[in-house]
Copies of this chain bind each other. A is one copy, B any other.
Amino acid sequence: MALNKEEMSEKVLAIAETLLNEGGMDNLKARTIAEQAGISVGSVYNLFADLDEVHRAVNMRLLDRLGVAGLTAMADLERQGVSDVEHRILAMAAAYVRFVEAHPGSWPALLAFNRRRATRPGPDSYQARLDELFDIVAGVLKAGNFELDDDRRALAARALWSSVHGIVTSGYVAKSDSRQADEIWQQIELLVGVFVKGLERGGAFAHARTKPI
């Protein structure tokens, strides 16, 4: 039975995601998608204006999945009655580590795509999805009752996110994959532990400093 337009779009996106995950942006080709979907190249372009549109749609799926991973991690801790801020931030970080590991090609391709192409405004944009993720972290920080107004809390959430992202992807190379994973986790644990202690001490309201750049 032939797939309808929506089903075929889903099929194309699933194929595109696998291609991106296996070989990054260079691996995303309309001909390959068409062959694997059993349709013509023209049919791919009936569903999506161009390959950028395909990539954009894959990226939205990835961000949705990451959002679900974060919310699931928080829901798991809530069921377990864990409300400790450090513990909850570490669980978010762990969810991100697992997500990056599960998407070795497609996640770097999303980041590269975002650097090269202008993002689109609007509620469906990349940035709007990312803001939803930052909101989860900000929500955890809010529960900590630190001396943070909404703006500083949102900034702290973005800084924490970027920091964990940097640790996961920094390219610090240990001598084996398992030592690499240990190093990443030790850095995350130290960062989050020290950061939360600093927030408890009101560190986010440190005196403003002249930007030295």
Contacts and interface: CB of A to CB of B under 8 A. Distances in A.
How many copies of this chain does one complex carry? 2
A165 B164 CA distance: 10
Interface majority SS (helix, strand, loop, mixed), chain A: helix
Contacts of A162: 163, 166-167, 170, 172, 187
Contacts of A202: 197
Contacts of A170: 161-162, 165-166
Contacts of A91: 212
A32 interface: no
Interface of A: 86-87, 90-91, 94, 97-98, 111, 114-115, 119, 126-127, 130, 152, 155-156, 158-167, 169-173, 183, 185-191, 193-204, 206, 209, 211-213
